[in-house]
Amino acid sequence: MNAFITAVIEKKTILIANEGRLLKKSFLGFAILIMAFQVNDFGDVVRQALIDAYLQVSVFVGFTLFIFIGMDALTKFNIPYVLDKTKKFHVIMASLLGALPGCGGAIVVVTQYIQGRISFGSLVAVLTATMGDAAFLLLAAEPFTGLFIFALGASVGALTGYIVDKIHGESYLQGNSKLKVEFEKLKKTFVSNFNIFWTLIFLPGFIVGLFVAFQQDLDQILKIPEGFSIVASLGLAGAILSIFMWSLNPLSDFQCSTDRTRDFLSRVVDTTNFVTTWVICGFLVFEIFMHITSYDLKTFFDIYLPFVPLMAILFGFLPGCGPQIVITTFYLNGFIPLSAEIGNAISNDGDALFPAIALAPRAAIIATLYSAIPAFIFAYGYMFLFE
């Protein structure tokens, strides 16, 4: 799980804590680092995957996060207040908040439902529209595709929400608790001490990433002696530092980006590190599979193409943003079609599913199943019409 969530009834508070999380993160992170430090062909494959993931994807995700989290920090958008003032348009507002990159808006909407302030259709709308932190990755790599999926998610979410309210009524499975969300009181962490080093690598890494994107060999342009590569060194250093910081960060992944009490730079760095680690996982799945079997994973997906959108939709049922980032990484690398990415984007609920499962499990399960219906329709509709 991305967080350990408990309802403190006496205090009427949802306490989002992070117990037991660090050990799992450390195991995954250090497993990747151990593979990267192998001195054989396998190690070369892993290191190249880290370099490619950081310079081709992560630096642009970080740049996108600087913009979005910066806007969030400046505007201080009060979601509960907006929902309270737009009661006639809750389904539409919920779908728009869900379509925003990240999970912050969706998590707040879920807690508003648990408190009985919005309808079950609004809950379905926000979970249908939400793409979670995978949205940052898609927006950074393919902004037009990202905007298309955001618009599609918001529209499909609103339509589905109104249909569900029509079927069940607005008060279906609705709670009436007086809960509020509180994050664990930990604004700075041990890894925050490395933020300055992260920034010193990120800034030149972003410039190098631009050269890589335009297929320019910076080492050759700068006449770097053979046997050393600035490109590879920056990419590897950035990837290793990101994995190291993510592995030792005790905060849940959605607290990293959504907790406004934390400073701006820490939110950007921690969220980028989270996305980077899971992007690297996506790269490694493909590269290690190729290295061990000499079989192209894309060929496998091509053979079973009619089932790929269905698999992506089912993958979307997994709580959290990490698995969904892997699916988006597969799409961006051309392994799966856009129809599969559409299906996953609509069916996945990101981190918003955690508080819903913890405090309203029946509503969470039914809402997730409802989101699978439009995911199936639009994924296979797009496949049959355009692919």
Asked if 153 contacts 99 with a C-beta cutoff of 8 angstroms, the reply is yes
pLDDT of 178? 57
Largest CA distance in the chain: 70
Asked if 65 contacts 136 with a C-beta cutoff of 8 angstroms, the reply is yes
pLDDT of 251? 77
Q: What's the rounded Cα separation, in Å, for the pair 141 and 52?
A: 13
Token pair listed for 86: 């737009």
pLDDT of 277? 94
pLDDT of 254? 66
Residues of the chain with pLDDT under 70: 1-21, 76-80, 175-188, 253-258
pTM comes to 0.84
Question: 3-state SS of the chain: helix, strand, coil percent to 5?
Answer: 75, 5, 25
Q: What's the rounded Cα separation, in Å, for the pair 22 and 34?
A: 18
**Nearest Cα to 235, choosing from 63, 64, 46, 67?**
46
Residue 360 lies in domain: 4-386
pLDDT of 177? 58
Q: What would the pLDDT profile of 249-290 be if each residue is shown by its tens digit?
A: 887 766 666 677 788 899 899 999 999 999 999 999 888 888
pLDDT of 353? 80
Domains: count for the chain: 1
> Counting Cβ atoms within 10 Å, is residue 223 exposed (0-12), middle (13-18) or buried (19+)?
exposed
